[in-house]
């Protein structure tokens, strides 16, 4: 029996040595020049041999594992230092992807109802949007950071993945940075709102314009996937349209955003201008944006402009909104006394908590 145990120990040591020797050779192979093989070709060569590597070896060799309950879900983005997404993030991204395909494919002469167009580009678009949603959820979890504007996560892994597929451009990189900047502004503004601190209108307008960065990332990816130059006129038009849609969404979600302490342009305007003047200043911003929207719309190809107008009508109906972008009727909801509103809701809902997202101690029992 003792002899068997000694043999088992020797075998375990030998297995460990073999594993470490493999990892050393693997690193040497990846880092040193190897004829005409570049990094991408090396990865493809290795991936073709993955089925021959035992799962037991992988379990013993990989330094980080994702089977721990603490690492499931959001924290999977840190596993193996690669970009990963969870099922929940993919499900949340679905509605955005559907709207994107219906609203943006037409600008690339693509049919959103065509299975060929849809599935040809869906994997990369879906992964990218799901990854963004996953980080967005993480941002909601990190609003308790000790100081405003802190950022414990970036798009580094997603950028590396896109670069590995030849998809990362300077414009896409800048839009990803815009996403990081938006989340930092969101935390800063919502925390300031809760603490009744000063809010600058410049920060608010910057945040609302940055908010649709994910649509711009997806749109820029489509240009890359189609091998075409970016159409600056289309991008400028869609940027104004995105602003109007974000304002429309904020008006529609105003009450929910008050309860969740989420970024909302109407909430911010109320803090800056007061309850009586905020609607007037917001209406002015909407009017200016609509004038620019109509001017840019007239510069589009008439057939494309007509398609997009029809899509706006469909989107307004799909959302069941009484407020909407240019083709709908704008209606600014009554201004809420936020503290009183939360108090009333907390006394009418079942026992629980209403968490005011951006500050750790701002909780109404």
Q: Output phi, psi for 34, to 5 deg.
A: -140, 80
Q: Is the pLDDT of residue 132 over 50?
A: yes
pLDDT digits (tens, 9 = 90+) for 278-313: 999 999 999 999 999 999 999 999 999 999 999 998
Q: Is the pLDDT of residue 355 over 70?
A: no
**Domain check: are 271 and 352 in the same one?**
yes
- Domain assignment of residue 274, yes or no: yes
Q: How far apart are CA 46 and CA 26, in angstroms?
A: 10
Per DSSP, the three-state class of 360 is: coil
pLDDT of 321: 53
Q: Is the pLDDT of residue 48 over 90?
A: no
pTM: predicted TM-score of the whole model, two decimal places: 0.72
**Domain check: are 55 and 82 in the same one?**
no
pLDDT of 317: 79
pLDDT digits (tens, 9 = 90+) for 262-283: 999 999 999 999 999 999 999 9
pLDDT digits (tens, 9 = 90+) for 62-113: 333 344 444 434 444 444 566 778 888 888 899 999 999 999 999 999 999 8
Q: Output phi, psi for 315, to 5 deg.
A: -65, -40
From the list 99, 96, 48, 93, the residue with the least C-alpha distance to 311 is 99
**Domain check: are 118 and 216 in the same one?**
yes
Q: What is the mean pLDDT of residues 182-195?
A: 93
- Domain assignment of residue 27, yes or no: yes
Q: Which domain holds residue 36?
A: 2-61
- Domain assignment of residue 67, yes or no: no
Count structural domains, the chain.
2
**Domain check: are 48 and 169 in the same one?**
no
**Domain check: are 16 and 113 in the same one?**
no
**Domain check: are 287 and 357 in the same one?**
yes
pLDDT of 203: 98
From the list 147, 136, 27, the residue with the least C-alpha distance to 92 is 136
């Amino acid at each position: 029996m003792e002899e068997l145990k000694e043999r088992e120990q020797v075998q375990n040591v030998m297995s460990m040595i073999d594993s470490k020797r493999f990892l050393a050779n693997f690193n040497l192979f990846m880092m040193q020049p190897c004829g005409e093989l570049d990094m991408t070709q090396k990865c493809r060569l290795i991936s073709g041999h993955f089925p021959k590597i035992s799962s037991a070896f992988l379990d013993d060799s990989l330094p980080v594992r994702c089977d721990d309950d603490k690492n499931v879900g959001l924290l999977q983005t840190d596993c193996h230092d690669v970009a990963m997404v969870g099922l929940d993030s993919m499900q949340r991204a679905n509605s955005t992807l559907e709207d994107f395909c219906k609203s943006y494919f037409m600008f690339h002469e693509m049919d959103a109802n065509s299975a060929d167009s849809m599935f040809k580009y869906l994997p990369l678009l879906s992964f990218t949007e799901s990854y963004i949603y996953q980080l967005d959820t993480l941002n909601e979890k990190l609003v308790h950071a000790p100081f405003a504007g802190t950022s414990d996560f970036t798009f580094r892994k997603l950028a590396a993945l896109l670069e590995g597929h030849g998809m990362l451009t300077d414009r896409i990189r800048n839009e990803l940075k815009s996403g990081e900047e938006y989340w930092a502004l969101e935390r800063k503004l919502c925390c300031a709102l809760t603490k009744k601190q000063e809010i600058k209108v410049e920060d608010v307008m910057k945040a609302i314009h940055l908010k649709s960065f994910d649509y711009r990332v997806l749109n820029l990816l489509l240009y890359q996937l189609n091998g075409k130059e970016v159409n600056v006129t289309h991008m400028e038009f869609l940027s104004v349209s995105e602003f109007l849609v974000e304002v429309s969404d904020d008006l529609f979600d105003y009450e929910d955003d008050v309860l969740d302490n989420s970024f909302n342009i109407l909430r911010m305007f109320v803090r800056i201008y007061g309850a009586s003047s905020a609607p007037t200043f917001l209406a002015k911003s909407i009017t200016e944006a609509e004038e620019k929207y109509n001017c840019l719309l007239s510069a589009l190809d008439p057939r494309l402009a007509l398609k997009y107008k029809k899509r706006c009508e469909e989107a307004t109906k799909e959302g069941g909104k009484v407020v909407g972008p240019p083709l709908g009727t704008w209606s600014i909801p009554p201004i809420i006394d936020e503290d009183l509103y939360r108090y009333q809701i907390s006394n009418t809902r079942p026992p629980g908590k209403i968490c005011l997202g951006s500050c750790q101690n701002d909780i109404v029992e």
